[in-house]
Copies of this chain bind each other. A is one copy, B any other.
Amino acid sequence: MTTIRVLLAEDQAMIREALAALLSFEDDIEVVAQVGRGDEVITATNASSPDVALLDIEMPGMDGLAAAAELHAKHPDTKIVILTTFGRPGYLRRAMESGVSGFIVKDSPADKLAATIRQVRDGQRVIDPDLAAAALAEGTSPLTPRERDVLAACTDGKTIQQIAQAVYLSEGTVRNYLSACIGKTGARNRAEACRIAEERGWL
């Protein structure tokens, strides 16, 4: 059995190095690269050719799921494991579409990490069963692309005016789209709709 070469992508330096410390205890795993930004994943992969890339989702530059998609396109042999704080079904769905082999949350016990790395290296898929069930139960987004855009632009208590400017639409149109979003999410106002859609991974 040869050692598994691992790329570690996680923006918080202390956590990244702590995870590296954790993996250093495994004889068959070697961390060959560490990056703190999503847009550094590709170049680091080119340089170090890892067997498995371990990606956080929340990262500056490019989020982990986007990085996963690009990585999978350019290096289909590199297995990808998403390691995230939030087990949102929407994340899982996007991850699956991005060619990811493993999806684990940071709540899991530590030994799950090395176990997952070994499993995906062997060609298996590793997904938290509860999460998978939740993702299936939720179904796919009922929002049209434009509704999604508008709803995504309305975080943080923005005004209709501000949203309209951000999306280059008239205020009336924005109101209409938001009204549709509110209806489809079952919310009572746009802030709640925004939160619900976010949770379900519809954004």
Contacts and interface: CB of A to CB of B under 8 A. Distances in A.
Given A21-B21, A21-B22, A25-B21, A106 B14 contact: yes
Interface in A70-122: 83, 85, 104, 106-110, 112-113
Interface string A1-33: 000000000011111111101101100000000
A195 interface: yes
A192 interface: yes
A30 to B, nearest CB: 15
Interface stretch (A41-49, A61-69, A124-132, A183-191): A183-191
Contacts of A113: 14
A124 B108 CA distance: 35
Interface residues of A, number: 36
A123 interface: no
A57 interface: no
Contacts of A13: 106-110
Given A14-B19, A14-B104, A14-B107, 11 more contacts: A12-B107, A13-B109, A14-B106, A14-B109, A14-B110, A15-B15, A16-B110, A17-B109, A18-B22, A22-B22, A157-B192
Interface of A: 11-19, 21-22, 24-25, 83, 85, 104, 106-110, 112-113, 156-159, 187-195
